[in-house]
Amino acid sequence: MTLRTVQTANYYGIRPDDLYLFNEGTLYHSYRTFGAHRLQWDGTEGVRFAVWAPNASDVRVAGSFNHWDGSGHRMERLGESGVWALFIPGLAEGALYKYEICDADGRKRLKADPYAFFAERRPGTASIVADLSGYRWRDGAWQRRKRERLPYDNPLLIYEAHLGSWRLAGKEQFRTYGELSAELADYAADMGYTHIELLPLAEHPFDRSWGYQITGYFAATSRYGTPKELMAFVDRCHRRGLGVILDWVPGHFCKDDHGLRLFDGTPIYEGPDPRLAEKPEWGTLAFDFGRTEVMSFLISNAIFWMDLYHIDGLRVDAVASMIDLNFGKPPELAAHNAHGGTENPEALRFLRKLNEIVFHYHPHALMIAEDSSAWPAVTSPTYWGGLGFNFKWNMGWMNDMLRYMALDPDERKHHHHLITFSLLYAFSENFVLPLSHDEVVHGKRSLLHKMPGSYEEKFAQLRLFFGYWMTHPGKKLLFMGSEFGQFDEWKDTEALDWFLLDYELHAKMKLYSRKLNRLYKERPALWEKDTDPGGFEWIDAHNAGQSVISFVRRGNRHGDCVVAVCNFPVRRIGITGSAFPPPAATGSLSIATTGASAALRP
């Protein structure tokens, strides 16, 4: 077989400079070059394909248009870049395709396009030619407002949702992006949230991975509709005053044969060393963060979701597993860096560069690290030696508080440190306080079910917990269903138990959550100084015997403060702007300001 190599100044719009930057790791909009792009060349309309397969002996395009026989559509290698390209005239949007890749030994494998913009609905695995241009955005007011408001000193109250189980039309009958545009966006806005965070929407083969094991990083999953229907969903959220955050998974990818694994017969995305590549805890493969082309791929993907889908931010999954070479690995896969440590210097460089580039192109984006490690300065700028995120999940607070709230109230006096320890480090990073999907699945029970006591007492405990959560320094995130007291843990193949709202305590729990959300947004003292130690002061942190704590939250204006009193054994919380309120009803939340008072009593 003769290897055909093209030396050309411009191959159907692919410039040598693009290839150079891609190989260098700095082509931050590589999705404009790679994948399947409909275009007109010399008066002929068709589709240009481009793929990186540096160690292949031959690459072809096979699809629905050639009976899945790529022999008539051989791609041409562009110099020494490792990139292959082909222009197929007359090909239309909607065509199914894969790359037929021959490795160095002549063995063929069919691979989905890493840069495909759309893909078949599972169990199909083909890529689909899709044009993402032409959607008319109507979110100008949202974009202007976002530029005017820094996230640090404004409310950030996130509703985390899994589109495949928020609501269902029937067994495995997903709501569409279009239906969710009205239902979910309107619900979250009415409840008072500021943002929706969506579990990953990049294409993935297995529903029960929840999107965390991906094959198509640039393809919005076809489970819920088309790419432009997803754009309409985001647009609707913005017009309802809601930001949209996407869970993003740069740490690892799934091993399915049609995906990135051994893409050209060699490990180009995962790297050659199995000690670094294998993620045995999840059965996946880690990206090779030291490879420059992988750097171009991943950073471009982050920019892609913000450029084309107007996504407002990314929650970067599993940062701890990226920066620790031995995270979740058995001894036989143990590895060390050149200095003998277990830190992954390539991953650290990637994360810093990722945040620098994202904020260069999208300075008002949210970049949130889901990081369970004690790595310092995660939310400090890279020029100060930090990782450059602007927020980090406070996993320590979450673990301590869930452990504390599960205790019998009579036992809490022996574990008082669990509710006070977080204030020793609350201002070391810009924190989000997460009550996420990970805490209500796999036998961990729902938030309501974690609470001790009788059925009625569980609700009182959850109201108390939510009140403390809302007044503690840090932004907020809550997983769907917890706002109305979902009793069973999250069932990822079924819809939330919305029927529970027919029962009084669950309906009142939803009302309480709604009022608490609105109270949070209306009281600047609860968010203006989330990252400033001057915004918090203990009144009494040491009343372990009675399991009572009290503290002050302060805003920017002189005299703007909220006093919180949490009475954990008797399940009461009171909040006041100037003085302590009278004894509250069990599980209630009260607030009083100068000259006025109000009470929330679900």
133-162 pLDDT tens trace: 999 999 999 999 999 999 999 999 999 999
CATH of the domain at 186: 3.20.20.80
Q: Which residues on neighbouring strands pair with residue 62, listed in sequence order? A: 98
- On whether both 212 and 233 belong to a single domain, the answer is yes
453-488 pLDDT tens trace: 999 999 999 999 999 999 999 999 999 999 999 999
pTM, two decimals, is 0.94
Pick the catalytic residue: 58, 247, 370, 483? 370
Best CA proximity match to 195, nearest among 355, 368, 360: 368
246-284 pLDDT tens trace: 999 999 999 999 999 999 999 999 999 999 999 999 999
> With the CA atoms of 509, 514, 517 and 523 taken in that order, what torsion angle do they form, in degrees rounded to the nearest 10?
-110
Let me know: does 152 contact 531? Beta carbons within 8 Å: yes
Taking the alpha carbons of 463, 468, 470, 471 in that order, is the dihedral positive or negative?
positive
Residue 574: per-residue pLDDT? 54
* Locus of tokens 């494998």: 109
Whether 234 maps to a domain, the answer reads yes
Whether 468 maps to a domain, the answer reads no
Q: Average pLDDT, whole number, for the chain? A: 92
- On whether both 124 and 158 belong to a single domain, the answer is no
Mean pLDDT of 13-39: 97
Residue 582 pLDDT level (bands cut at 50, 70, 90): very low
Among residues 393, 412, 429, which one ends one of the domains? 393
The backbone torsions φ and ψ at residue 75, rounded to the nearest 5 degrees and listed phi first, read -85, 160
DSSP string, 363-430: TT-EEEE---S--TTTTS-GGGTS---SEEE-HHHHHHHHHHHTS-GGGGGGGTHHHHGGGGTTTSS-
User: What is the number of domains present in the chain?
Assistant: 3
For β-strands 96-102 and 157-161, DSSP reports them as unpaired
For β-strands 313-316 and 366-369, DSSP reports them as parallel
Distance separating alpha carbons of residues 2 and 195, to the nearest angstrom: 55
Q: How distant, in Å, are the alpha carbons of 100, 306, 382, 401 from that of 293?
A: 21, 20, 22, 42
Across 244-277, b (16+ Cβ under 10 Å) vs e yields: bbbbbbbbbbbbbebbbbbbbbebbbbbeeeebb
Query: Is residue 179 among the annotated active site residues?
Result: no
Residue 172: per-residue pLDDT? 72
Residue 364: per-residue pLDDT? 97
Mean pLDDT of 217-226: 97
Query: Is residue 346 among the annotated active site residues?
Result: no
Residue 169: per-residue pLDDT? 79
Distance separating alpha carbons of residues 601 and 587, to the nearest angstrom: 8
- On whether both 170 and 301 belong to a single domain, the answer is yes
Q: How distant, in Å, are the alpha carbons of 176, 436, 491 from that of 166?
A: 11, 14, 10
- On whether both 202 and 340 belong to a single domain, the answer is yes
Whether 434 maps to a domain, the answer reads no
Query: Can you read off the two tokens belonging to residue 490?
Result: 């999250």
Task: Report the share of the chain in percent with pLDDT over 90.
Answer: 89
Query: Can you read off the two tokens belonging to residue 401?
Result: 């508080």
Residue 576: per-residue pLDDT? 53
CATH of the domain at 35: 2.60.40.10
- On whether both 365 and 267 belong to a single domain, the answer is yes
Task: Report the share of the chain in percent with pLDDT over 70.
Answer: 93
Q: How distant, in Å, are the alpha carbons of 91, 331, 393, 439 from that of 474?
A: 52, 37, 9, 19
Q: How far is C-alpha 99 from the geometric centre of its chain's CA atoms?
A: 29
Distance separating alpha carbons of residues 160 and 247, to the nearest angstrom: 10
Among residues 79, 95, 128, which one ends one of the domains? 128
- On whether both 59 and 109 belong to a single domain, the answer is yes
- On whether both 238 and 357 belong to a single domain, the answer is yes
500-557 pLDDT tens trace: 999 999 999 999 999 999 999 999 999 999 999 999 999 999 999 999 999 999 999 9
- On whether both 101 and 19 belong to a single domain, the answer is yes
438 burial type by CB count under 10 A (0-12 exposed, 13-18 middle, 19+ buried) = middle
Whether 99 maps to a domain, the answer reads yes
Distance separating alpha carbons of residues 36 and 96, to the nearest angstrom: 11
pLDDT at 593 over 80: no
Best CA proximity match to 466, nearest among 525, 510, 414, 421: 510
Taking the alpha carbons of 166, 171, 174, 179 in that order, is the dihedral positive or negative?
negative
Residue 10: per-residue pLDDT? 78
- On whether both 184 and 39 belong to a single domain, the answer is no
pLDDT at 1 over 50: no
Q: Which residues on neighbouring strands pair with residue 52, listed in sequence order? A: 83
Q: Which residues on neighbouring strands pair with residue 576, listed in sequence order? A: 563
pLDDT at 583 over 50: no
Q: How far is C-alpha 45 from the geometric centre of its chain's CA atoms?
A: 37
393-435 pLDDT tens trace: 999 999 999 999 999 999 999 999 999 999 999 999 999 999 9
pLDDT at 25 over 50: yes
Residue 590: per-residue pLDDT? 39
Mean pLDDT of 341-355: 97
CA angle 251, 253, 255 (to 5 degrees): 150
- On whether both 124 and 183 belong to a single domain, the answer is no
Whether 459 maps to a domain, the answer reads no
Domain that holds residue 549: 533-600
For β-strands 216-220 and 243-248, DSSP reports them as unpaired
287 burial type by CB count under 10 A (0-12 exposed, 13-18 middle, 19+ buried) = buried
Whether 338 maps to a domain, the answer reads yes
Q: How distant, in Å, are the alpha carbons of 47, 69, 70, 423 from that of 61?
A: 11, 8, 5, 58
Mean pLDDT of 24-45: 95
Best CA proximity match to 124, nearest among 219, 198, 246: 219
* Locus of tokens 């109270």: 519
Let me know: does 485 contact 162? Beta carbons within 8 Å: no
Whether 442 maps to a domain, the answer reads no
Distance separating alpha carbons of residues 186 and 192, to the nearest angstrom: 10
Element (H, E) at 144: helix 140-148
Residue 221: per-residue pLDDT? 98
- On whether both 84 and 157 belong to a single domain, the answer is no
Distance separating alpha carbons of residues 527 and 529, to the nearest angstrom: 6
Whether 528 maps to a domain, the answer reads no
Pick the catalytic residue: 235, 317, 324, 346? 317
- On whether both 145 and 275 belong to a single domain, the answer is yes
Let me know: does 244 contact 312? Beta carbons within 8 Å: yes
Among residues 128, 163, 194, which one ends one of the domains? 128
Best CA proximity match to 567, nearest among 591, 540, 599, 594: 540
